Chain A
Amino acid sequence: MPTTPNKDSKPMSRRAFLRNSGLALGGVVLGGAFGTAIWKDREEQPQEAPPGASQTPAASGSYQDALMFFNQEQFRLTEAAVERIYPEDEHGPGAKKLGVAYYIDHQLAGNWGSNTKDYMMGPFSPGEATQGYQGRLTRASMFLIGLNGLKDYSQKTYGKAFPELEEAEQDEVLKAFEKGDKVKLNGTDAPSFFKNLRTFTLEGVYADPMYGGNKDMQGWKMRNYPGNQMSYYDQIEKDGLVKLEPKSLRDHMA
């Protein structure tokens, strides 16, 4: 199936994109017959409530929803950008409501953002492409460089801050970063920033809600993903698709 994005009319829905591309999830590629079965199953069912509406108010009510790392401006910029990567649509909440920007904030504040388990000592020397990352900047620093780049590029090109742009303009900015030829960053490059932003977005949508994203397991619920069950002993021999209420790591704290 072709996955060409629909330029002029409505952008292809996220659901259609996921269906067509067989997104890798939980180490398993949900594609082929199994993936299709899930889509069919979901789409043929009339949706009762307008999506997103009936759900628990996603980004409120959690004590994790505060900042450890970003300032407000960086947070809003991140939130606007991830919402374009994983937008809300007729199937459910997008990255913003799922708390992805909080997830990214918390990741950058912690070990991952500070590269505490990576080898960060000198001497530094530019490596071959096959030798992996050889820089001295942490993930957190590189992310901020990328955000500054987004801010500057939006201001320069449209005379507005990124969160104030039209969706189509935001997409143009993000595409320019993905491609990289028109954007120059100091210390990292635009395509790497885009790639990290995209990876962080998917992690924030699908990682356990403990980390601040995937609010109320909605990222999982939208895909009928059962989260982390302790065992499939009672289901393994059943025929057909078994629907399970997802479980989060908190459920194992009994």
Chain B
Amino acid sequence: MANPLPKVPVVIVGMGWAGGIIAAELAKAGIKVVGLERGKKRSTEDYFMVHDELRYAQRYEMMQDLSKETITFRNTEKARALPMRTYGSFLIGDGLGGAGVHWNGQTYRFLPYDFQIKSMTVDRYGAGKIPEGMQIQDWGITYDELEPYFDKFEKTAGISGEKDTHPNAPSGQATIRRGR
């Protein structure tokens, strides 16, 4: 029988990075949130044996148990969609923190060019550079608009890196990739 719980204005299903960030921001704004997570709770105690490469890297300890739930997929329209029976090319996380608990932790910023790939390409090389049928588009949001949020996320997650490879620094690679 269903067990009715007190009503709250917001319920978020899934407590990965996305659900977690939204829950935190709403709570900071004084809005009551309940987060529902299907997987396990995790704390530091759970990582005592985390250097066990066989268990964690080869045997997918932190990934969803596929015997309970999996996805079906196909790579072409003509193929028959079949269940993902064992792990292979991509990994589904579950548990508190979602995929953010077993990701690789690389958090590069996207570059201004990534957000405005179409208009920057046209500006530099002319409209003829984009072949018929190629569907690239600008995101509709620019690097500058997103920059404060990059900053906020990096501070939240404790991201660090070398200053001179920052995309806004006028150096090497980054400048080239920005399309000048």
> Which residues of the partner chain A approach B83 to less than 8 Å between Cβ atoms?
119
- Quick check: is A207 within 8 A (CB to CB) of the other chain? yes
A213 to chain B, nearest CB (A): 10
Q: Is the CB of B85 within 8 A of A118?
A: yes
Tell me how many residue pairs across A and B have CB atoms closer than 8 Å: 71
Main secondary structure of the interface of B (DSSP, over half): loop
User: Given the complex of chains A and B, what is the CA–CA distance between A229 and B79 in angstroms?
Assistant: 47
One digit per residue, 1 when the CB lies within 8 angstroms of any chain A CB and 0 when it does not, for chain B 64-87 equals 011100100111100110111110
Q: Is the CB of B67 within 8 A of A120?
A: yes
User: Given the complex of chains A and B, what is the CA–CA distance between A203 and B55 in angstroms?
Assistant: 11
One digit per residue, 1 when the CB lies within 8 angstroms of any chain B CB and 0 when it does not, for chain A 125-169 equals 101101111100000000000000000000000000000000000
Contact of A117 among B66, B74, B80 (CB under 8 A): B66
For chain A, the count of residues having a C-beta within 8 Å of the partner chain is 28
Contact of A203 among B49, B51, B58, B74 (CB under 8 A): B58
User: Given the complex of chains A and B, what is the CA–CA distance between A118 and B53 in angstroms?
Assistant: 19
With A130-B75, A131-B75 already in contact, the answer to whether A228 and B82 are too (CB < 8 A) is no
Q: Is the CB of B54 within 8 A of A211?
A: yes
User: Given the complex of chains A and B, what is the CA–CA distance between A127 and B49 in angstroms?
Assistant: 37
User: Given the complex of chains A and B, what is the CA–CA distance between A100 and B49 in angstroms?
Assistant: 22
For chain B, the count of residues having a C-beta within 8 Å of the partner chain is 27
> Which residues of the partner chain B approach A203 to less than 8 Å between Cβ atoms?
54, 58
- Quick check: is B57 within 8 A (CB to CB) of the other chain? yes
User: Given the complex of chains A and B, what is the CA–CA distance between A133 and B89 in angstroms?
Assistant: 12
User: Given the complex of chains A and B, what is the CA–CA distance between A117 and B84 in angstroms?
Assistant: 12
Given contacts A115-B67, A131-B84, 15 further A-B contacts (CB under 8 A): A111-B59, A117-B60, A119-B70, A119-B84, A120-B67, A127-B80, A128-B75, A131-B74, A131-B82, A132-B89, A133-B85, A133-B86, A207-B53, A207-B54, A229-B51
